[in-house]
Structure 1
Amino acid sequence: MKENFLWGGATAANQFEGGYNEDGKGLSIADVTLGSVHGQPRVIHDDVHGDCLYPSHVASDFYHRYKEDIKLMSEMGFKCYRMSLAWTRIFPDGDEDKANESGLEFYDRIFDELAKYDIEPIVTLFHYEMPLHLVKKYGAWRNKKLIEFSVRYAQTVFERYKHKVRYWITFNEINSLFMEEGSWHSSGVIFNEEDDIGQLQLQIAHYQLLTSAKIVKLGHQINRNFKIGCMVLYPLTYGATCKPVDQLLAMKKINQTYYFLDVHVRGYYSNICEAYWKKMGKGPDFTEDELYELKEETVDFISFSYYFSEIEGQGEFERIKGNISIGGKNPYLPMTKWGWQIDPLGLRISLNQLYDRYQIPLFVVENGLGAEDVLLENGKIHDNYRIEYLKKHIKALLDAIEDDKVNVIGYTVWGCIDLISDSTGEMRKRYGLVYVDKDDNGNGTLRRIRKDSFYWYKELISSNGGILE
């Protein structure tokens, strides 16, 4: 394993930060969204209702506890920390001409604290929390004006942090737009009965891909040392049987992800994209100038989340939901309590598929196990199940690097410190290596407690993966 491999952890502002209305921060779409806790349906409001408990408002309170949390990351030996900026801390409404200085100063403090411990920040610009004002006034990503506002925001933070941040990611899980419940998270759009949903998805995708391309070009102009990547949710898909038609259907499912990656990496709409347009009846509207902009500068690396795999094919088989992706149940795989299929070898396969297709560096920026952890009377949390999950997945990662010669630059375990689940709004679905004393009803001290996995991951990093050899 290369000595400069980026071991670390990952969180997102809307699931971890809290401080939703402090120091001039505006409301984001996450701040008015109630999670589907304990199987209840997700509820989206048009404003904050005083009698509701919104998970993002306090979350894990990183806003006030960042020094303690970063110190814990350092204790584990983190080489990097993948985080996101809250757009509404910097531009509270999203369409202002001038940024909120208090918000910029908050992230200055974060980056300075990380630098103190030699932890490299990996910063995502758009992670499921766009300004609510942009939804109300402009219709969110239905409106091409969002490109202008997004690029202004990116330019502001690039110029502010050009000597503090080297690695950037544009849109989190951009391909979730094509998934059943992804439109609100990724675009702030709720589809109406009169919408041509397929056509609208394609147009939103074009606006976001064009925005990403503009941002990559801009970032490289501001600092040629920036490494700017894209990010997708990678739903590895197997054919339900060895029937050729099932393999074809599995291929078409994964092509929905390649739709985005082809544009990010190759700089043009590929045959896969055009085939998808034909399926939808019509492609997005664009100009020749916009097609040129897609080509000008492409991403430096591909980052992705990997939690599970699924199957696809003809015939009847059980379908299960993992996060916002819905796929077929694989009878050969165990599942988590939340129905996510555990497939460590699938990570190795995914890495090979992506590297073979694109031949640019890869970064696994989300991987982890959501589980109900028990805090014992002696103050211990024995999460051997998480250790086993991470051990098998990271071994598959190392095999892809060492045996298959896949170029992987880093790995960040998701929810390194407990945070709220984006898909459900729960705290009981815990991913962290550090326990946060808080329950689904907002009760608790927010005290941080090291789990057994904390010490295991620390040993893994100190050995640079050597304990798995």
Structure 2
Amino acid sequence: METAKGFISIHLPLPLLLVWIVIACLVESASGGPAGELHRSQFPPSFLFGTATSSFQIEGAYLQGNKSLSNWDVFSHIPGKIEDGSNADVTDNHYNLFLEDVKLMKDLGVNAYRFSISWSRLLPKGRFGEVNPDGVEFYSQLIDALLERGITPFATLNHYDIPQLLEDRYGSWLSTEIQLDFAFFAETCFKEFGDRVRYWVTFNEPNVFIYDGYLIGTYPPSRCSEPFGNCTAGDSRLEPYVATHNLLLAHAAAVNIYRKKYQEKQGGMIGIVMSAPWYEPYSDTPADRLAAERVNAFNFAWFVDPLVFGDYPPEMRQVLGERLPIFTPEEKIKLAAKLDFIGINHYTVNYAMDCMFSPCPSPYSFGEAAVYFTGEKDGVYIGDPTAMSTFFVVPRGIKEMVMYTKKRYNNMPMFITENGYAQATASKEVLLNDTKRIEYQQSYLQSLSDAIREGADVRGYFVWSLLDNFEWLHGYLVRFGLYYVDFNTLERTPKLSALWYKDFLSGTGVSLHQPVTTSKAEVMAS
């Protein structure tokens, strides 16, 4: 097999094909009409259905095309940081195989693709250097290939990775300098690609990389303080809020540039994407009910409230007081109404347990929110467990999260920018026969359609992920892809879920499976 020029062999093994035929026949015979099925027609005709990826997780080619090292390139090469000792130097080699991957999307029948742009590939030295023509060419070719096949590009500017140079030079998100660098990077993207890209995301899950990078220290730059982690530097009581403050102002700067210079001519939208698990009270006590409200504010509204209302959530002000940074009147004006849409990355539901007025496990899962979250109560999981220890199959959660966002932000346009099922690494045959992922996706889509029917302005849904890829701290131990990737040969093979998604998008009705509640004892026994 030749990987340098991008030839991919795609086939469906005969045993898997026979399994799929049996499933399809059962679905057709047992569907019992529209009331028992999930249909593409339950969503608006203009709805975007796609897949999602990120540059660091799939591109590989980490030193190819004059790219500089990113913070994750450096971090993933530090022994002990990644569970399986791996890195993303090659991963899916999408940088060289992107044309074949676009063909996979075309075959699926998706009408949109969410990807991220590597800051290190486009601006290897940040604003202190030249725009990299190799980076411009790569993303231009990808965007053109998508458009030629009727697939809408949905571009993310930052999905965790930044040039390591910016960390070394001034401490990245802890410095106001990052606002200037991000604005420069954003405008470079608007200028080079905005004539063809209509959907822009400034940041993917800033609540994750701020929390993990500056509170508990498990992501780069690995800064934290007691009781979190084993960091050599940092202040968990201060730095997460400083980094967030700079990030929000960087977002506002990018949006101001887009709206003043590009949006009217290019006709696009710009928003932010948040990690958005739903939290339910561990018990019906007033303390746990308040804990669930508080953790949603500390996790989600922390970033979204300032970009809609111009200030941090009142739930956070009440807890943090003066330690939460203050926006000046000028900054509030810059921040308010700086979203055209909100992206929701939703996978799971967890219980929220109060730690402010009640004893509970320590350290708290959300620091000074004083909330502990868990997926287990009285020996029973909140939903079917997955390969991610905090991810459970609870379909109602996607509707709950959407309706919370609808209510809090006056039904601002929303996209489900990630939703997917985690498989533990196993034999190829097991991974291809991913019926659990099919059950997950169809039940979550049904719940999402219920939210839309109740008036939520949701405009798209993206499966995470197109391909099995490098899954951050887990390396290659966890797989989310619709396509199985053999990381020795880089061969892509469609899983059953890819065929299911293709059938769904083509208008074929799909029967629904009810999720089951699994006890912890049953899982341990298996």
| TM-score, length-scaled by structure 1 | 0.88
Distance 1:175 1:217, change over 3 A: same
Conserved in 2, the CA contact under 8 Å of 1:259 and 1:272? no
What is the deviation of 1:20?
A: 0.6
Question: Could you tell me which residue of structure 2 aligns to residue 67 of structure 1?
Answer: 99
Question: Could you tell me which residue of structure 2 aligns to residue 272 of structure 1?
Answer: 315
What is the deviation of 1:54?
A: 4.8
Conserved in 1, the CA contact under 8 Å of 2:344 and 2:418? yes
Q: Describe how 1:230-245 pairs up with structure 2 within 5 A.
A: 230-245=272-287
Q: 1: distance between equivalents of 2:278 and 2:252?
A: 26
Match of 1:125 among 150, 154, 157: 157
Matched, 1:191 2:224: yes
Match of 1:7 among 21, 29, 49: 49
Distance 1:43 1:139, change over 3 A: farther
Conserved in 2, the CA contact under 8 Å of 1:25 and 1:92? yes
Question: Could you tell me which residue of structure 1 aligns to residue 11 of structure 2?
Answer: none
3-state secondary structure, aligned to 2:274:
strand
Question: Could you tell me which residue of structure 2 aligns to residue 102 of structure 1?
Answer: 134
Match of 2:467 among 397, 406, 417: 417
3-state secondary structure, aligned to 2:323:
coil
Matched, 1:434 2:483: yes
Question: Could you tell me which residue of structure 2 aligns to residue 467 of structure 1?
Answer: 510
3-state secondary structure, aligned to 1:254:
helix
Q: Which moved more, 1:350-359 or 1:308-317?
A: 308-317
Q: 2: distance between equivalents of 1:468 and 1:59?
A: 35
Matched, 1:301 2:341: yes
What is the deviation of 1:177?
A: 4.7
Q: 1: distance between equivalents of 2:329 and 2:364?
A: 41
What amino acid does structure 2 have at the position aligned with 1:456? W
**How many residues get paired?**
444
Q: 1: distance between equivalents of 2:365 and 2:486?
A: 28
Question: Could you tell me which residue of structure 1 aligns to residue 421 of structure 2?
Answer: 369
Q: 1: distance between equivalents of 2:363 and 2:403?
A: 26
Structure 1: which 5+ runs fail to align?
45-51, 439-443
Conserved in 2, the CA contact under 8 Å of 1:266 and 1:298? no
Conserved in 2, the CA contact under 8 Å of 1:319 and 1:327? no
What is the deviation of 1:32?
A: 1.6
Structure 2: which 5+ runs fail to align?
1-42, 226-231, 513-526
Match of 2:330 among 276, 283, 289: 289
Q: Describe how 1:28-427 pairs up with structure 2 within 5 A.
A: 28-34=70-76, 41-42=80-81, 54-177=86-209, 179-180=211-212, 188=221, 190-191=223-224, 195-221=234-260, 222-224=262-264, 225-256=267-298, 257-278=300-321, 281-284=322-325, 286-295=327-336, 297-314=337-354, 315-316=359-360, 327-330=373-376, 331=380, 332-339=382-389, 340-358=391-409, 359-371=411-423, 372=425, 374-376=427-429, 381-402=432-453, 404-426=454-476
Conserved in 2, the CA contact under 8 Å of 1:85 and 1:126? yes
3-state secondary structure, aligned to 1:298:
coil
Distance 1:129 1:376, change over 3 A: same
Conserved in 2, the CA contact under 8 Å of 1:27 and 1:93? no
What is the deviation of 1:43?
A: 6.0
Q: Deviations over 1:407-435 (max 9, x none)?
A: 11100000221111123112x41111111
3-state secondary structure, aligned to 2:283:
coil
What amino acid does structure 2 have at the position aligned with 1:329? G
Q: 2: distance between equivalents of 1:292 and 1:189?
A: 33
Distance 1:244 1:178, change over 3 A: farther
Distance 1:376 1:196, change over 3 A: closer
Matched, 1:27 2:69: yes
Structure of greater Rg: 2
Q: 1: distance between equivalents of 2:220 and 2:74?
A: 15
What amino acid does structure 2 have at the position aligned with 1:198? R
What is the deviation of 1:34?
A: 2.8
Give the RMSD, CA atoms, in angstroms. 2.8
What is the deviation of 1:157?
A: 0.7
Conserved in 2, the CA contact under 8 Å of 1:35 and 1:423? no
What is the deviation of 1:216?
A: 1.2
3-state secondary structure, aligned to 1:230:
strand
3-state secondary structure, aligned to 1:197:
coil
Q: Deviations over 1:185-233 (max 9, x none)?
A: 8874623667442222111111111111111121122122121011111
Conserved in 1, the CA contact under 8 Å of 2:82 and 2:473? no
